[in-house]
């Protein structure tokens, strides 16, 4: 079970794999995630399901190589098998009844935004997509977004591809152009989602964000993924990962994320010695 069928580098730090997982593929919906272990001694990695094929019994996962666990996963090849794969977990993104939506993706978060935008498109909604990257070399999934978007804005921080600027610049321009969105869905780095939410709050546009804090068990038992939303404690793995962006305490989430940076760097340095696979 859980054989890796395909592996494809999307850029120097992001990889796409297709995994055989018939039971998960049968029930998966956009916005849900899995938790996996590459090997028996590996850490548990939560990864959002980027795509699924119910007929083929496969799911697609897209991940950024940032630490020891993702380096281990990136070292696997087609034919290798994952030790564990559990899912689908979390609540699916709510798309019913939406007629016009702006989907905003940042960096590898575009892999999570894509299946949501695709489902909205399949349901007949007007989909405007804004995707942002630091530079041209990091762009991923452009063709896929073009295929399901009524309008697509490609943004890069340095202007090396598409338009120069932040996703919030494009979003505010589209709102000021008269677009009336039922909802804005933002998925990407915490700081990006924070400022998207601040932007839309000025215009009274409902905004949903996908939160991705540290997770251990995916059932709410460990409490590692806790967030403050509207003054209440929520757990991203069971109450989310989608939340009202206007109610999320992003500053708290950013502080908690920084707590693990030193540990992640140490694990990455260890994994570099064990899994020296070159970027493809």
Q: Which long-range contacts (CB under 8 A, 24 or more apart) does 197-204 make?
A: 197/245, 197/246, 197/248, 197/250, 199/168, 199/171, 199/172, 200/171, 200/175, 200/245, 200/246, 201/246, 203/175
**Tens of pLDDT, residues 163-185:** 999 999 999 999 999 999 999 99
Span of 134-138, 212-216, 226-230, 241-245 with lowest mean pLDDT: 212-216
Element at 35 (helix H, strand E)? strand 33-37
Tokens of 197: 């939410």
Position 19 scores a pLDDT of 97
Q: Residue 262 — very low, low, confident or very high, per pLDDT cuts 50/70/90?
A: low
User: Residue 278: pLDDT above 60?
Assistant: no
Nearest to 200 by CA among 177, 171, 178: 171
Q: What is the pLDDT of residue 269?
A: 56
Indicate the pTM of the whole model.
Answer: 0.88
Range of lowest pLDDT (128-137, 141-150, 268-277):
268-277
Residue 16 has pLDDT above 80, yes or no: yes
pLDDT of residue 119: 96
On the question of pLDDT at 273 being above 70, the answer is no
Q: Is the pLDDT of residue 123 over 50?
A: yes
Strand partners, 204: none
pLDDT (0 to 100) of residue 279: 44
Place of tokens 């299946």: 115
Q: Are 20 and 57 in contact (CB under 8 A)?
A: yes
Residue 260 has pLDDT above 70, yes or no: no
Task: Give the pLDDT confidence score for residue 270 in this predicted structure.
Answer: 56
CA angle 250, 63, 81 (to 5 degrees): 135
Return d(Cα 32, Cα 221) in angstroms, integer.
18
Which among 88, 98, 92, 90 is positioned nearest to 123, based on CA atoms? Answer: 98
Report the share of the chain in percent with pLDDT over 90: 78
CA–CA gap between residue 160 and residue 203 (Å, rounded): 30
Name all domains of the chain by residue range, CATH numbers in brackets. Answer: 4-90 (2.40.30.10), 100-210 (3.40.50.80)
């Amino acid at each position: 079970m859980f054989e890796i069928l395909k592996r494809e580098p999307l850029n120097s730090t992001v990889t796409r794999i297709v995994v055989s997982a018939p039971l998960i593929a049968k029930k998966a919906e956009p916005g849900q995630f899995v938790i996996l272990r590459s090997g028996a001694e590996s850490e548990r990695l939560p990864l959002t399901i980027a795509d699924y094929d119910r007929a083929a019994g496969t799911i697609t996962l897209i991940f950024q190589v940032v630490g020891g666990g993702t380096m281990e996963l990136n070292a696997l090849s087609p034919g290798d098998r994952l030790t564990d794969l559990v899912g689908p977990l979390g609540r699916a993104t709510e798309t019913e009844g939406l007629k016009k939506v702006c989907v905003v993706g940042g960096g590898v978060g575009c892999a999570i935004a894509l299946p949501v935008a695709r489902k909205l498109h399949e349901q007949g909604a007007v989909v405007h997509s804004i995707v942002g990257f630091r530079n041209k070399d990091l762009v991923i999934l452009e063709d896929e977004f073009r295929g399901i978007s009524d309008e697509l804005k490609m943004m890069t921080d340095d202007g090396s591809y598409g338009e120069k600027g932040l996703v919030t610049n494009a979003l505010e321009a589209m709102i000021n152009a008269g677009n009336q969105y039922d909802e804005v869905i933002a998925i990407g780095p915490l700081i990006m989602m924070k400022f998207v939410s601040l932007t839309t709050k000025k215009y009274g546009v409902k905004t949903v964000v996908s939160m991705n804090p540290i997770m251990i068990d995916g059932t709410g038992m460990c409490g590692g993924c806790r967030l403050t939303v509207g003054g209440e404690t929520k757990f991203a793995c069971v109450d989310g990962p989608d939340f009202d962006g206007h109610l999320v305490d992003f500053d708290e989430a950013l502080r908690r994320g920084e707590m693990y940076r030193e540990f992640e760097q140490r694990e990455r340095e260890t994994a570099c010695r064990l899994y020296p696979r070159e970027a493809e």
